[in-house]
Amino acid sequence: MTKILYSDDLTACFSAWRKEGTKVLGPVQQAKTSGFGEVQDAKELDLDLVLTDRTLKELFFPRTEPMLSYSIGKQQIDTSEFLPSEHPCIIFGARPCDAAGMAIDDELFNWDYRDEYWFRRRDRSVIMTIACKESDDFCMCTSLGLAPDSAKGSDILLRPLTSGKGWQVEELTPKGSKALLPIASLLKEGTEEAAPTAEVPVLFDLEACTTWLANPENFESHFWKEISERCIGCGTCTYLCPTCHCFDIQDEGDTYEGIRRKNWDSCSFQLFTMHTSGHNPRNTQSARWRQRIMHKFNYFSDKFSVHSCTGCGRCTRECPVDMGVRETLQAISTLPK
Amino acid sequence: MTETNSTAQKNIYKPAVMKIAAKRDEAPGVKTLRLEFQNPADQEKFAETYRTGMFGLYGIYGEGESTFCVASPETRNDYVECTFRQSGRVTTALAAAEEGDLITFRGPYGNRFPIEEFHGKNLLFIAGGIALPPTRSVIWSCLDQRDKFGKITIVYGARTVADLVYKQEIDEWAEREDVELVLTVDPGGESPDWKHHVGFVPTILEEAAPAPGNCVAVLCGPPIMIKFTLASLKKLGFEEANVYTTLENRMKCGVGKCGRCNVGSVYVCKEGPVFTAEDVSAMPASDL
Amino acid sequence: MSIQQQYRSRAKELLQDGSVKMVIGYGEGTTATRRRPIFITNPDDTDRLVLDAACKTNLAGYLLREGLLADQKSVAIFLSPSGVRTINILASESQLSSAQVVVLGFQIQGDTVKALEGTKASDFSPLIAKRKEKRKAQPSHEMTRKLEQMTPAERFAFWEGEFSRCIKCYACRAACPMCWCRRCVVDNNQPQWVNTSSHTLGNLEWNLVRAFHLAGRCVECGNCSEACPVNIPLHLLNRRMTEEVLTAFDHYPGADEHQEPVLASFRKDDPETFIL
């Protein structure tokens, strides 16, 4: 016997949560792209998508956010902080690869110094993931040791029923269980079977890759230039990656008042590491591509014991010139160590 | 070694407000600011956490923040000094600020010089041009506890006499009997009454030939100078593990989050800016 | 012989006899319908080249990549007519020498690809002249007309809506062969002319500035809209600019390499007496 949530009851669940003062967000079509938006009725959701175009990370790390405002006088400076509200919210229907990305970034945003902007949003949110029945040509979660029904980063895992009428409900964290209390009466006990999860073929040998990347001799390999020859150095892969977290800090305003913002940035951009002196440690696109791969599959894992990638495939799916980490890792796994 | 942010719920991106207590012209385009915390709690926190070697992000709201070392020693932690060259947007604004103006400071961040490991040893300080500030903070940390160390030698050079920074302090070091000062300017950079050496730092260093035994070297300078000076030090018998240096890189957050300052897998803001020459040799040279 | 086979042989010959050091073309992509830019230097690798109706990207921007043409050697490149126009514009803006570019010209017609005669950019001038007339005679695209019929407030609301999605990834800039500035206007911070933040105002500023910088230079290759990961119809802005410039100055960008840039040239018989 497992807890079952029927899709017919979903809108009622949303109402129950909203009555408690909790916002509900889910995957929606937003004028030509899909992302996460606030919903009131279940029919606003698009749960048939293999994966939303935009990632879950935007809910915790917006593409631009005001951090501080400043107001300068001769004798003093007044600042106020734009700390995110603690208004609770439930994210219904994220994919396991997206949720895993959030858990990965938790480690970074808490590395000795805690980023309150990230954690206030994380702490107030409950993530309910739906296991994937389908995948597309770009999915590669299994290559990263994850799966279409991975639990990482999720509070509640919903497994679609074979009947298509709803989901089995699997409680993963105390936070998740607590979130089910307001809808307890809407959950049924049942024995309905869950549909099999998507078959996602493993596309490369991750361990072979990490061994190659960890070898200092390969840092200077000609491979980097060859594999990144067509990269045009935009920020698409970075911005649509659930784990990429690099940012810029920019002041907008004048000498008297303004706002200090945290904005997305990308190591693919030419100016990312440019010194004021004019020296740029990563002056070629191949050096920048190498940084991207090394950071995700060597440096990050070196510090946090997990790679900075969940195999969601967006980098390849969205890249204007069909790059993405997949081709690089497939190529590396065939190279001699 | 990293210093943990002990106060819970503190906003790591919110800087402390500093008043410019003093401003000094060091060299063409180079200024020193002495800053005092406006909030006693910030001063207390700084005194608790600051160790020589750490850096800060100095800023002006509306312009941005710029990263420099803290040029004042841990033995004099009731103010913060920074020395910088005017080169970009933020440093231009900082250079234009006057005594009494308010600027911002975030820090201190990063690791430190393990000064207690230098106790009982001879110290060799080598710096070039605008790279004297981080060395200077170690020099004063040691001179403020002079009896803990053996022989202290300072080798400092700049392109021209005008480019030497901390000119007053150089005179003080020259006067002291417990410090050997070797001062040089590049060929062509001397003034008519120049009494010290003329030559590039690595050459002058080799001529001075300090003994490597029981000696720790602190070497700061532009990459090209470090390369040649390190070669000279090795010629003199120094081992890379006993040569300390600082690295700089483009920074924004200073706390390991914005993903910008790493050299290979090493984050300059978290695992640096203080490194041994051995650490630096292990880093991928083409990422520097 | 299919056009693909024909051009593979041609590419192989050019590499074997040393006429070119590299062939820039299309290869298979991650999926059956995708194509990706590839860079062939070994004559034996020319079998990787693909040419079919899916080969839509304008590859010309790769000629400016990190000193590729600095050694004065030639490069062969697969180009459609808009790609050839791109070469002309880049040459007129002193970004490359057309003498170093060997054109493998093709045109997509529905599901098929037609080979175009010619090896230098200038060989295609008659074709481009015909396309200019065709463009002039072409009525405005339906969406352009719709936008034209809106009130300014409605039009602004339309673009505000579109640009609220922009994430400032600069894929449009990176994919556009005309965006070759080593230091883009948004990368200047003394002063910061254009906000870097990706709020709606910052997005509007960026996209409008780019559209203006492309006026009289855009060849309507579609790279920008294809590249945009959030499906903003950038080509609508550029198309409108193109029509404006065509009507006001009879200027069809990339007609030949001696064409003067429309926003950077002045003639004594210009209707206005001052540059504005």
pLDDT digits (tens, 9 = 90+) for A274-296: 999 899 999 999 999 999 999 99
Per-residue pLDDT tens for B263-272? 999 999 999 9
* Contact status of A215 with chain B (Cβ, < 8 Å): no
Q: What is the arithmetic mean of pLDDT over B33-48?
A: 96
Residue at B265 is within a domain: no
Range A46-67 average pLDDT: 96
pLDDT of residue C213 exceeding 70, the answer is: yes
Query: CA quadruple B142, B145, B147, B148: dihedral positive or negative?
Result: negative
Test mutation, C22, C28, C30, C65, chain A, max A CBs within 10 A: C30
Do residues B175 and B208 both lie within one domain? Answer: yes
Mean pLDDT of A121-138: 97
Give every strand in the sheet of B215-220, ordered side by side. B197-198, B180-185, B152-158, B122-128, B215-220, B243-246, B274-276
User: Do B130 and B229 share a structural domain?
Assistant: yes
Q: Is C177 helix (H, G, I), strand (E, B) or coil?
A: coil
**pTM score, whole prediction:** 0.95
Q: Flag whether pLDDT at A98 surpasses 90.
A: yes
**Residues B44 and B67 both lie in one domain:** yes
The arithmetic mean of pLDDT across residues A319-330, rounded, is 96
How far apart CA A282 and CA A219 sit, in angstroms, is 13
- Is there a domain that residue B288 lies in? no
Is residue A282 within 8 angstroms of chain C, CB to CB? no
Confidence band (pLDDT; 50, 70, 90) for C275?
low
Per-residue b/e over A302-329, b at no fewer than 16 CB within 10 Å? ebbebbbbbbbbbbbbbbbbbbbbbbbb
Share of chain C above pLDDT 70, in %: 99
pLDDT grade for B59, boundaries at 50, 70 and 90: very high
Please report the number of interchain residue pairs, chain B to chain C, with beta-carbon separation below 8 angstroms. Answer: 6
What percent of chain C is predicted at pLDDT more than 90? 84
Is B88 in the C-facing interface, judged by CB distances under 8 Å? yes
A277: closest CA among B164, B65, B248? B248
- B210: cis peptide before it, omega within 30°? no
Q: Specify the amino acid at residue B98.
A: E
State pLDDT tens for residues C117-175: 999 999 999 999 999 999 999 877 888 889 999 999 999 999 999 999 999 999 999 99
- pLDDT band for C248, please (50, 70, 90 cuts): confident
Q: Which range marks the domain in which residue B91 is found? A: 16-109
Q: Which residues 178-237 in chain A show a CB within 8 A of chain C?
A: 229-230, 232-236
Contact A316 C170 (CB under 8 A): no
Q: pLDDT over 70 for what percent of chain B?
A: 97
pLDDT confidence of residue C114: 95
Please report whether residue B260 resides in a domain.
no
Residue B259 with chain A: CB contacts under 8 Å:
245-247, 265, 267, 295
Does residue B1 form part of some domain? no
**Same domain flag for B71 and B125:** no
Q: How far is C88 from chain B (nearest CA, A)?
A: 37
**How high is the pLDDT of residue B4?**
37
pLDDT at A178: 97
Average pLDDT over residues A229-249: 97
In the prediction, which pLDDT does B3 show? Answer: 35
Q: What is the mean pLDDT of residues A1-19?
A: 96
Mean pLDDT, chain B, whole residue set: 93
In a domain, B162, yes or no: yes
* Model confidence at B24: pLDDT above 50: yes
Average pLDDT, chain C: 93
User: B137 in the Ramachandran plot: left (φ > 0), alpha (ψ -120 to 50) or beta?
Assistant: alpha
Residues C72, A232: Cα–Cα separation, whole Å: 23
Is the per-residue pLDDT at B1 higher than 70? Answer: no
Residue C190 has pLDDT above 50, yes or no: yes
pLDDT of residue B6 exceeding 60, the answer is: no
- Chain A closest-CA separation from residue B106 CA (Å): 13
Q: Say which range, A79-88, B7-16, B39-48, B263-272, has the weakest mean pLDDT.
A: B7-16
Number of domains in chain B: 2
Q: Which long-range contacts (CB under 8 A, 24 or more apart) does A44-47 make?
A: A45/A92, A45/A93, A47/A93, A47/A130
Give the closest residue to B249 by CA, choosing from B283, B282, B218.
B283
Q: Report if residue B205 sits inside a domain.
A: yes
**Most B-contacting residue of C188, C190, C193, C197 (CB-CB within 10 A), to test interface:** C190
Same domain, B142 and B181: yes
Q: How confident is the model at residue B222, as a pLDDT?
A: 85
Q: Is B97 in the same domain as B23?
A: yes
pLDDT for position C276? 56
| Predicted pLDDT of residue B8 | 40
Cβ–Cβ below 8 Å for C189 and B92: no
Asked if the Cβ–Cβ distance from C197 to A284 is below 8 Å, we say no
Confidence of residue B5 (pLDDT cuts 50, 70, 90): very low
Residues B126 and B105 reside in one and the same domain: no
CATH number for B104? 2.40.30.10
Say what the pLDDT of residue A299 is.
96
Residues B44 and B65 in one domain: yes
CB–CB contact A252 C230 (8 Å): no
CA pseudo-torsion sign B231, B233, B235, B240: negative
Q: Do B260 and A246 touch (CB under 8 A)?
A: yes
